[in-house]
Amino acid sequence: MKVIIIGAGKVGIQIAQTLLSENHDVIIVDKREEIKQDLDSHLDIMTIIGNGANVRVLEQAGIRNAGMLIAVTQSDEVNMIACITAKQFEVKKTIARIRNSEYMYEDSLSKEKMGIDFIINPENSTALEIIGLLKAPVNVCETQDFAGGKVSLFGVKVDEDNLFANKKIKDTNLGQHSLIAALFREDNLIIPNGEDEIYAGDIAYLITKKEDVTSIGQFCGRKNIATQNVIILGGSNIGVQTATLLNETGIKTKLIEIDKEKCEKISELLPQTLIINGDGTNIELLREEGIDQTDGFVSVTGFDEDNLLTALLAKHLGAKKVIAKISKTNYIPILENIGIDAVVNPQLITAAAILRLLKHGELIDLALLQEGEIEVVEFIAQKNRETNNKPLKTLNLPDNTIIGAIVRDKETIIPHGEDVIISGDKVIIFTKPAETRKIEHLFL
């Protein structure tokens, strides 16, 4: 299928790389001339220089025979116009990244009137990611639910004091309801067997039944944390949406914002949140607001450096969980090794949300881990497949692939080699992006 991507930022490039690995015909449109040489040297892709809202530019990109258009520029208006134009050329599916929350509630932004099939709001998607991290039973760097919440996935950084550091997988004794599905070590994905060892510095991905999430605390050797109060630094859209979602679940929130005028506006939006006008990098202010008694600290200002500094300060001063929003992806591997519990990157979260939509119908869900190095896919096993009713150990799965969970009616199975897949099962699989198409051919 021919896919046109408007915008060659981090989101656009992440999506392009995934689609290229699945042998789609991808064209990128971007108005920056300097981007073409960089893309030509790194990706086997056609790049058109121009305004993605311009009809002539879209025609040059091949809009007349495109099956999909994805608009992810920094401009909401360009994204909307590109989708409207695409529908006039009868493009089957259009996706737009829309940041302005006012647009999100406009009735005029309907599929019929605007030609936008799916809208992605990065701030809302990021806030939901933060909520998942805060609600996790212990400090985790990534989390995702599957099968309607019946299966939970957690990414855990293995410290020197972890109970299972330097132990073999078979000696972890996590029981039948949890599985160490993957290890990420020095930029490499490892699908482990019982003889593989867990080392300090690894990120271990555990998959477990929802009712057995206490095993995550067992794995970490720490008590589970019930998040009851959170301090948010930054009155950005992400900060406001995070506070709103936390308030809806009864969690007490404070929000620190340095801009007085913005504080006044936010206080009207968040009557249940204590709004504090001050500098979140001020240690005395953090102490006055009880940082040492805080279950969660979330830094979501518009500046990576401030988010990094304040997250480190909060952890040093006693906050149980600290989460920082970071836009520069090259910072992420460093931050995960210096005491910050979790990092959220709106661009990567947006890319993952769009990729889920692209596979809508084929897959129930899709998660990207480690900046897209790992894919976790969920699908329903189809009838009359050769993989049905055969022991999992006999299946010819692609390299770096493991079946993490099977949900059958009301039963959740953390599978072993003798288990089988039957038609109608929900199946959750860990794999590399390049292997996703093979998985689809096997099971769908």
Same domain, 292 and 333: yes
Same domain, 363 and 422: yes
Cα 269 to Cα 420: distance, rounded to the nearest angstrom:
51
Domain holding 24, by residue range, is: 2-120
Three-state secondary structure call for residue 28: strand
Spell out the SS3 assignment of 237-278.
Answer: HHHHHHHHHHHHCCCEEEEEECCHHHHHHHHHHCCCCEEEEC
Same domain, 244 and 334: yes
* Structural domains in the chain (count): 3
327 part of a folded domain: yes
Same domain, 328 and 379: no
**What does the DSSP assignment read for 390-428?**
S-GGGS-PPTT-EEEEEEETTEEE---TT--B-TT-EEE
Same domain, 426 and 439: yes
244 part of a folded domain: yes
- Per the prediction, the chain carries an average pLDDT of 90
pLDDT confidence bin for 44, thresholds 50/70/90 = confident
Same domain, 326 and 382: no
CA 381 to chain centre: 24
CATH of the domain at 280: 3.40.50.720
pLDDT confidence bin for 358, thresholds 50/70/90 = confident
Beta strand ranges found along 258-334 (DSSP E): 274-277, 296-299, 321-325
Same domain, 301 and 356: no
Cα 52 to Cα 251: distance, rounded to the nearest angstrom:
43
Average pLDDT over residues 385-392: 94
Domain finish residue from 92, 120, 148:
120
Handedness of CA 395, 399, 404, 405 (dihedral sign): negative
Cα 42 to Cα 53: distance, rounded to the nearest angstrom:
25
Cα 263 to Cα 232: distance, rounded to the nearest angstrom:
13
User: With a threshold of 0.75, does the pTM exceed it?
Assistant: yes
Q: What is the pLDDT of residue 438?
A: 87
165 part of a folded domain: no
Same domain, 415 and 383: yes
